[in-house]
Structure formats: structure tokens, C-alpha cells
């Protein structure tokens, strides 16, 4: 990203070497209920004056045992649990989980279902990034941004509610399709949202991008180089902010992403400001993808019609036809029937690559379901990044990482 | 050599002990536990799989031997390909595996999680502590013999536990989970087939 943000006094400000404050170190526990930890992350810090000499993230306060739970229920019953992973983008989690299990079954979705999933994934990305930017702004003292972004999120919630019946915990996808088809006129309202959203997004980003205080707080803070980012398994905007142009939507296209034109923004320095810039640009690209998708929205089936042992038949047929009634009964009692095997699928979610590793022994219940959570991997680099930073910079680093503890702790 | 080249040819020529593994998607291989680090290093440095996406374990149940399998997923940021590597742990009672933290610092937390959930030790790991459960938690929850509802456990802070006499209780589960496990009948998944103490004729027992 070739944005210029050099101020002569910044060079003097940056702590090149940790100043020597003598032998005394202070141990301080930041979190689990610190406002800048966005949930329940605890950082056990060791300070030399204001400079962090050691950082040990303590995670697990939100551990609910989702993987254990998944081993004890049918595939569709686990969909609501995926809402509660990255609870700022539940629709994207639903999509990632559904595609992972469909890969296990060897199912290919019809174009209408794929396009729906692209639209909702991108809407979820916008919603998540809006939250990320708003909270980042608050962390470094820019309150107004949050008010702008939350107004837009509220409009997105209305769209989600119309599609799924829930604002927050959507549980929209099913293995082999979705809970329902797109409602009449919904796509027009998504288009209208995009039209009014872009000017507001520009206005919102303008509050930060050339904001002197924001740049002072974030530029050259939390710098990560490419090699470290890859070695620690960073993904998503945090990896792209370091200059690695890796986007699974482009590099491993799924759900028909190869049909859409969009750019992958990358940062140049790998600091907190670059990560912010990447998220801002990604929202513009998401709008671009959504516009292409709804312009040529495919007709036809919205679920896999031939997958009779995986996806439930339409309700009117269940109530009138014996065969469909039996099919539905078997699906509800025994779950969608899967072949034995192992599948790993990663989707490009707002926070990074959300992966599901499914081990099946056949039948309707997974033997093992591992959730590879991007926030967990992204946070594992904190002990390296935080050392040498000032205590106040920790807030700017955490805000730029845009993690979610529900996903990190599972 | 780039990641787009055939990873199967590379592995079988370079490491004759590596064998193919059944997979529904990406190339997958089994490696002997003693050789895992070499294979991972070869995949990283020679085949271009530079991003360690995931490390996890599978418990094949207490009746099976080998009981634990460790699974690595690697991704190439250049060739955009995945590969899966798996290795069985030899000792079922004290499963162990060489640590990949020397190759990828990102393996640190993944291996801590596998230790936390399965009780797998990773030889050479610099800081093998629990990560999701609290320090001092006595069980390994993702093992198949650990019940879904959990087990009665002392509170993390033993001083508080002594003073209050309170412990972490298993979830009130009432006969769940209400699904038919693979290979069993539908009746086995019925709630009342598992727990007769709570039905229309009988009141729900009070939680202690």
C-alpha cells in the first residue's frame, strides 16, 4: 500500500532499543476483562518501565469444547455452534462448515446456492471488518468511527434477519444447501445497501486514514515481516498486511469465487496501519464481488437436489408424499449420511483462514472435527510482536489484529 | 523444486518409508514417527510447503492400537497446494511425537492444544503447558473415554475450592447426546433409552 505517512518526528519517537530502567521489572495482567482485549484475552506482561519485555497471552477463557460437542451430534446439528465461533461473521462460518462437510460427501452445489453463499460471505466480511475498524478506533481513542460503522452493521443485521430469521446467530446453511432460498426482493435490498454503503465507507475511512493521531498511534507499531508471518501461520488481512498476497478466494477458489473479479490488497510494512488499510480496501472489494454476484444471480435449484440422504426435501412434499416423509425422518433421526474419509477445508473468512478437518467413519456423526481457527494462530505471534513495544502500543497492536475469542478458544 | 511438482513423487523418492494415506481431497501421507521431522523439513525447504496450517490429533478410541494419530496440514503460499501428513504414536499409554516448533514457531500453540486435549507430549517443545483448559486440570477432554458432560473437578484456584467446598460439576445432560452414533440403532439415540429417570410419569430429578 503506497500511502505516505512519514512525519519527521516519528523517527525520533520510535524506541529503537529498549531503554535501560534498571533491574526492576513489573508483572502486569492485562485482561481478561480489559476493554481493548475484545473479549476475554489475558496478556501476562512483564514491563521494564513502559516497555514490554515479555508477553504471554493466556487464552481459553471462552473454551466451550466445540470439537467434543461436534463428535456427539449430527452434522446439521453442529451448524448453530459454528455461529458462535467468529460471532462477528456467523454467516461466513456457516458457509465454511457446510462446504467442508460437502467436500466429504463429494457434493457440488448448484450455481444459485454458490452465489448465495458468496453474497452472504461477503456481507459477513463487511460486517466483521466494520466491527473490527470501529473497535480499533475506540482502542486508540477515535470514538466517532464506531458510531458510523455500527449504524452500517445495523443495516446489515436487517438484511441477515430477513434472510435467516436471526440478526446475530444465523445458522443459515445446511449440509447440501441452506435453510431456505433467498427471499423475494432481498437481492435488490442488498444492492441498495451497497449503493448507499460505499460513500459512507469512504467517509468513515477518511476519519482514520489521514488522521494524524491515528497514524501516530499505529504506523510502525507491531511490525511483522513476511517470513515471521508465514512461520507463525498468520492468515487473512493480518498476513496480507505484511505483504503476502495470499487469499484463498483467489488461490484456492471455492463456491464459485473464480467467476468474480476483485483485487487482493496487500500492505508494504506489516504494521498496524497496514492491517487497517487492508481491511478498509477489502470492504470495497467485497462490495465489488456482491455487485457482480447479484447482477447475474443464477436461477434454478438452491440446494443439491440429488443428495437424497443429505438434504431434506421441501416441506410441502414431506407433508404429501410418503417417500419424502421417510427421507426426512431418516435425516432427522440419523443425520446426513457421509462416506468414511478425511477432509480438510479452509475458507477465507474475515479473520483469516477458517479450517475444518473432518474425520468420518461413515454415518451422520463425525468421528473427529477439528476447527482450525485463524484468531488462535494470529494471536500466537503476540509474544514476538509485543516485546519492545510500549504498553500503550499493545492496545494498538491488539486492535489491528481484529481477533475474536469465541473463535480462538472454541 | 516448487510445490506444484508432484509431491507424491518427491516424497516417495526422498523418503522411502513414507506411504500414501487414504484421503478425499488433498495428497495425504503416513510417515513413521521417528522420521516426521525430516519429512516436514523436506516438505518445507524442498517442496515449498512453507505455511503450517494446522496440527491436530485423532483418538481412534481406547480399544484401538495405535490409538493416537497426529496430523499436520501444510500449505504452500507459492504453489497454493495443501498436503496432509500423519503419523501414529507408538505408545498408547504415553503417546509422544517430535515437536515441529523448531521448523515453525507457529507449531507451538497447536502442539500445546494437542497436549491439552489429548495428553500427547511433544518431545523438544519449549513450553508444553495447557492452553485452553487451566493449569492443573487433571483430564484430557478430547480423548474418547472422557464423557461429553465432563467430570467432577476441583476449581482452578485450590484455595477457593478449599474455602467454599465447591467443585466444577458435570453438565446436567439428562441422557444425551440424542443422536444415533455410527453403527447403532435409532432407538439407542432416544433420550429415554439412555436415561429412564426423567419421563412423563417421573419428575426430573433435582440437580445436586
For residue B206, name the pLDDT band (cuts at 50, 70, 90): low
Tell me the average pLDDT across B162-190.
Answer: 68
Q: Using one digit for the tens of pLDDT, what is the confidence trace for B88-146? A: 988 888 899 999 998 899 899 999 999 999 989 998 888 888 899 888 888 898 888 88
Q: And the C-alpha cell for B56? A: 491436530
Q: Using one digit for the tens of pLDDT, what is the confidence trace for A362-380? A: 888 888 999 999 999 999 9
Contact check, Cβ <8 Å, B182/A230: no
In 3D space, the residue among A267, A106, A228, A80 whose CA is nearest the CA of residue A166 turns out to be A80
**Range in A97-106, B69-78, B173-182 the model is least confident about:** B173-182
Mutation site, A85, A232, A373, interface B, largest B CB count within 10 A: A232
The string of DSSP codes covering A195-247 is HHHHHHHHHHHHHHHT-HHHHHHHTTSS---HHHHHHTT--THHHHTTT----
Contact status, residue A70 vs residue A370, Cβ threshold 8 Å: no
Task: Assess whether pLDDT exceeds 90 at residue B171.
Answer: no
- pLDDT at position B180, please? 57
Contact status, residue A303 vs residue A262, Cβ threshold 8 Å: no
* Residue A37 vs residue B93, higher pLDDT: B93
User: What does the alpha-carbon distance between residue A324 and residue A320 come to, in Å, rounded to a whole number?
Assistant: 8
Mode of pairing for the β-strands spanning B96-98 and A352-363: unpaired
- pLDDT at position A17, please? 58
Q: Using one digit for the tens of pLDDT, what is the confidence trace for A148-182? A: 999 999 999 999 999 998 888 899 998 988 888 89
* Residue A21 vs residue B185, higher pLDDT: B185
- pLDDT at position B198, please? 52
In 3-state terms, what secondary structure has residue B178? coil
- The full set of domains in chain B, from first to last, is 7-132 (3.30.460.80)
Residue of B nearest to A244 (CA): B77
Give the CA angle between residues A70, A41, B139 to the nearest 5°. 45
Residue pairs between chains A and B whose CB atoms are closer than 8 Å: 129
Q: Which residues contact A312 (CB under 8 A, 6 or more apart)?
A: A174, A318, A327, A328, A331, A332
Contact status, residue B154 vs residue B168, Cβ threshold 8 Å: yes
User: What does the alpha-carbon distance between residue B137 and residue A271 come to, in Å, rounded to a whole number?
Assistant: 38
In angstroms and rounded to an integer, the radius of gyration of the C-alpha atoms of chain B is 22
Task: Assess whether pLDDT exceeds 60 at residue A13.
Answer: no
CATH architecture, range A66-409 = Orthogonal Bundle (1.10)
Which residues in chain A touch residue B21, judged by CB atoms under 8 angstroms apart?
Answer: 342
* Residue A49 vs residue A235, higher pLDDT: A235
Closest partner CB to A103 (pick from B25, B146, B179): B25
User: What does the alpha-carbon distance between residue A249 and residue A383 come to, in Å, rounded to a whole number?
Assistant: 30
Residue B88 phi/psi, 5-degree rounding, is -85, 145
Q: Using one digit for the tens of pLDDT, what is the confidence trace for B47-94? A: 889 899 999 999 988 888 888 999 999 999 888 889 999 999 888 888
Which residues in chain B touch residue A65, judged by CB atoms under 8 angstroms apart?
Answer: 141
Task: Render the burial of A90-109: b for 16+ CB within 10 Å, e for the rest.
Answer: bbbbbbbbbbbbbbbbebeb
Domain boundary assignment for chain A: 66-409
Task: Assess whether pLDDT exceeds 80 at residue A1.
Answer: no
What is the residue-averaged pLDDT of chain B? 81
Contact check, Cβ <8 Å, B109/A72: no
- pLDDT at position B156, please? 81
For residue A12, name the pLDDT band (cuts at 50, 70, 90): very low
Closest partner CB to B24 (pick from A343, A346, A384): A343
The string of DSSP codes covering A41-102 is -EEEEEEETTEEEEEEEE--TT---HHHHHTTS-TGGGHHHHHTTSTTSHHHHHHHHHHHHH
Contact check, Cβ <8 Å, B58/A341: no
In 3D space, the residue among B144, B157, B108, B156 whose CA is nearest the CA of residue B129 turns out to be B108
Closest partner CB to B109 (pick from A231, A244, A380): A380
Task: Assess whether pLDDT exceeds 80 at residue B40.
Answer: yes
Contact status, residue B72 vs residue B101, Cβ threshold 8 Å: no
Q: CB distance from B23 to chain A under 8 Å?
A: yes
Amino acid at each position: 500500500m503506497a500511502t505516505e505517512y512519514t512525519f519527521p518526528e516519528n523517527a525520533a519517537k520510535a524506541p529503537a532499543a529498549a531503554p535501560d530502567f534498571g533491574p526492576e521489572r513489573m508483572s502486569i495482567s492485562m485482561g481478561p476483562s480489559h476493554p481493548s482485549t475484545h473479549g476475554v484475552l489475558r496478556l501476562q506482561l512483564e514491563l521494564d518501565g513502559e516497555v514490554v519485555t515479555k508477553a504471554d497471552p493466556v487464552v481459553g477463557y471462552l473454551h466451550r469444547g466445540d470439537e467434543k460437542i461436534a463428535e456427539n451430534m449430527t452434522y446439521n446439528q453442529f451448524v448453530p455452534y459454528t455461529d458462535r465461533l467468529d460471532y462477528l461473521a456467523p454467516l461466513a462460518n456457516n458457509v465454511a462448515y457446510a462446504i467442508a462437510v460437502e467436500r466429504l460427501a463429494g457434493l457440488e452445489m448448484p450455481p444459485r446456492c454458490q452465489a448465495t453463499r458468496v453474497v452472504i460471505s461477503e456481507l459477513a466480511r463487511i460486517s466483521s471488518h466494520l466491527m473490527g475498524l470501529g473497535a480499533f478506533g475506540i482502542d486508540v481513542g477515535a470514538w466517532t468511527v464506531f458510531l458510523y460503522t455500527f449504524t452500517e452493521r445495523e443495516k446489515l443485521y436487517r438484511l441477515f434477519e430477513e434472510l435467516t430469521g436471526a440478526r446475530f446467530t444465523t445458522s443459515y446453511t445446511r449440509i447440501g444447501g441452506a435453510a431456505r432460498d433467498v427471499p423475494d426482493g432481498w437481492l435488490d435490498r442488498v444492492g441498495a445497501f451497497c449503493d448507499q454503503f460505499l460513500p459512507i465507507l469512504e467517509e468513515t475511512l477518511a476519519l482514520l486514514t489521514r488522521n494524524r493521531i491515528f497514524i501516530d498511534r499505529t504506523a510502525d507499531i507491531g511490525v511483522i515481516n513476511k517470513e515471521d508471518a508465514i512461520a507463525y501461520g498468520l492468515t487473512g488481512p493480518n498476513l496480507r498486511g505484511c505483504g503476502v498476497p495470499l487469499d484463498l478466494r483467489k488461490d484456492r477458489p471455492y463456491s464459485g469465487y473464480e467467476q468474480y473479479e476483485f483485487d487482493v490488497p496487500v500492505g508494504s510494512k506489516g504494521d498496524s496501519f497496514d492491517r487497517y488499510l487492508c481491511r478498509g480496501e477489502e470492504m470495497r472489494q467485497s462490495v465489488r464481488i456482491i455487485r457482480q454476484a447479484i447482477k447475474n444471480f443464477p436461477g434454478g435449484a438452491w440446494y443439491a437436489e440429488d443428495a437424497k440422504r443429505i438434504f431434506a426435501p421441501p416441506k410441502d412434499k414431506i407433508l404429501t408424499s410418503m417417500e419424502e416423509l421417510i427421507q426426512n425422518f431418516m435425516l432427522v433421526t440419523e443425520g446426513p449420511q457421509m462416506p468414511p474419509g478425511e477432509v480438510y477445508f479452509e475458507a477465507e473468512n474475515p479473520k483469516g483462514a477458517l479450517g475444518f478437518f473432518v474425520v468420518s467413519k461413515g454415518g451422520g456423526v463425525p468421528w473427529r472435527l477439528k476447527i482450525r481457527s485463524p484468531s488462535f494462530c494470529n494471536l500466537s505471534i503476540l509474544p514476538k510482536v509485543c516485546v519492545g513495544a510500549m504498553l500503550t502500543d499493545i492496545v494498538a497492536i491488539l486492535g489491528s489484529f481484529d481477533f475474536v475469542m469465541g473463535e480462538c478458544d472454541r | 523444486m516448487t510445490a506444484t511438482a508432484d509431491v507424491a513423487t518427491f516424497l516417495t523418492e526422498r523418503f522411502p518409508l513414507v506411504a500414501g494415506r487414504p484421503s478425499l481431497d488433498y495428497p495425504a501421507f503416513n510417515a513413521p514417527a521417528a522420521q516426521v521431522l525430516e519429512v516436514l523439513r523436506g516438505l518445507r525447504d524442498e517442496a515449498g510447503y512453507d505455511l503450517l496450517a494446522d496440527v491436530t490429533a485423532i483418538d481412534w478410541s481406547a480399544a484401538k492400537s495405535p490409538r493416537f494419530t497426529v496430523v499436520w496440514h501444510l500449505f504452500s503460499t507459492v504453489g497454493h497446494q495443501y498436503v496432509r501428513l500423519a503419523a501414529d504414536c507408538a505408545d498408547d499409554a504415553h503417546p509422544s511425537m517430535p515437536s515441529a516448533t523448531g521448523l515453525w514457531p507457529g507449531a507451538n500453540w497447536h502442539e500445546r492444544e494437542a497436549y491439552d486435549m489429548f495428553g500427547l507430549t511433544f518431545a523438544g517443545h519449549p513450553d508444553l503447558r495447557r492452553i485452553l483448559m487451566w493449569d492443573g486440570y487433571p483430564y484430557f477432554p478430547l480423548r474418547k473415554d472422557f464423557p461429553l458432560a465432563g467430570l467432577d473437578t476441583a476449581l482452578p484456584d485450590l484455595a477457593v475450592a478449599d474455602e467454599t467446598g465447591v467443585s466444577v460439576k458435570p453438565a446436567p445432560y439428562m441422557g444425551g447426546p440424542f443422536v444415533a452414533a455410527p453403527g447403532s440403532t435409532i432407538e439407542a439415540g432416544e433420550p429415554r433409552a439412555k436415561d429412564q429417570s426423567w419421563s412423563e410419569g417421573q419428575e426430573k430429578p433435582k440437580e445436586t
